[in-house]
Chain A
Amino acid sequence: MEPRQDPPSDPQDEELRRKAIQRQRNIVLALVLAGFVALFYGITIARM
């Protein structure tokens, strides 16, 4: 039996997938940064 070979990927699909991953990462990063802003604000208030 011959080893299974993945079909050649479409460069356009790959680019779309790359952009989608990057977009998701950017959204998560923005949420994390917003969380840190809230955290530092809360810490400042709590320590006053």
Chain B
Amino acid sequence: MTSIDPPNAAPKPAMPAEWRDFFALTKPRVMTLVIFTGLCGLLAAPERINAFLGFAAILCIAIGAGGAAALNQWWEADIDAGMKRTSKRPLPSGRMDRTQARDFGIMLSAASVGIMGLAIGWLAAAILAVSIVYYAVLYTIWLKPRTPQNIVIGGGAGAFPPMIGWVAATGEITAMPVLLFAIIFMWTPPHFWALALFVKTDYEAVGIPMLPVVAGEQATRRQILVYAAILLPLSLAPWWIGGTGWIYGASAAVLSGLFLLLSAQVGLRRTQEGDAMRPEKRLFGFSILYLFALFAMLVVDRFALTP
């Protein structure tokens, strides 16, 4: 398996890695959003799933996300070492051997897909497998180091969980799970570019072609505004097609309206050297709240309005 090792593999650490390092490799903070949106997809689906099988489905989504995150860190250890935000991770800080991280990621990924297939169904398992390959290979290895559109296409990886949750409950792909996928897909670029605007120097240092680095700040600001403008009608689409009730529809209108307003503040401003980037930080913070609230309302709508 050494033939697929990334270049510049670090020397083996003196001590064995602690279990906390393996846990950190799964990016637990990112996983919370994955679990939450997956759970919302599962709960918002029109069919009820056995509670224990539902738990198993969410566990598989979480394990799969953890495996993909481990493979991402295995590949990007050199890049992570050059960025302040990521330099304390187990691999760049030298607490773990790179091969272990790769094997751990493969093991988690395979286990999650296998258990999902056996316990829930092979359609949900196939989508989970696609999401792992999408993140670990398409985004991490191929797109991220090559194109400033990395976030746009790579954002699809994070958009899969609600679709997997929905398909786990219903066993089929309909318009609703595709719309939930599309909402996260369109939400990811403004969310991430808001972050990239105020940590731009980190990406510059390691040569990752993030949009603010390659196309400049103004182009990034315009793109944030465009994506937020598309997100407003898209977030209303589940209500428009009759997949949800008025509770979700009203919540989506308010939340997406606020998101567009904050994006406009970012999109229409020009900054000078040394700017505190407050609107960008506010947009980034709100974007996380936005996704949690939007998906929570999807579930509230389902339970409040379905007899």
Contact = CB atoms under 8 A, between A and B. Distances in A.
Contacts, number: 35
A42 B19 contact: no
A18 interface: yes
A42 B51 CA distance: 10
A47 B99 CA distance: 37
Interface residues of B, number: 14
Interface in B1-39: 14-19
Interface in A11-48: 14, 17-18, 21-22, 24-25, 28-29, 39, 42-43, 45-47
A6 to B, nearest CB: 12
A22 B16 contact: yes
A28 B19 CA distance: 7
A43 B15 contact: no
B50 interface: yes
B118 interface: yes
Nearest to B19: A28
Nearest to A26: B19
Contacts of B16: 18, 21-22, 25
A46 B52 contact: yes
Contacts of A24: 18-19
A5 to B, nearest CB: 16
| Residue of A14, A29, A39 with most partner-chain B CB within 10 A | A39
Contacts of B59: 39
Nearest to A39: B56
Nearest to B53: A46
A47 B119 contact: yes
A39 to B, nearest CB: 6
Contacts of B50: 46
Contact of B18 (A25, A29, A39, A47): A25
A7 to B, nearest CB: 15
Contacts of B18: 21, 24-25
Nearest to A24: B19
Contacts of B53: 43, 46-47
A9 to B, nearest CB: 9
Contacts of B15: 14, 17-18, 21
Contacts of B56: 39, 42-43, 46
25 contacts: A14-B15, A17-B15, A18-B15, A21-B15, A21-B16, A21-B17, A21-B18, A22-B16, A25-B16, A25-B18, A25-B19, A28-B19, A29-B19, A39-B56, A39-B59, A39-B115, A42-B52, A43-B52, A43-B53, A43-B56, A43-B118, A43-B119, A46-B52, A46-B53, A47-B119
Interface of B: 14-19, 50, 52-53, 56, 59, 115, 118-119
What are the nearest 10 A-B pairs in CB distance?
A28-B19, A46-B52, A43-B119, A46-B50, A42-B52, A25-B19, A46-B53, A21-B16, A21-B18, A43-B56
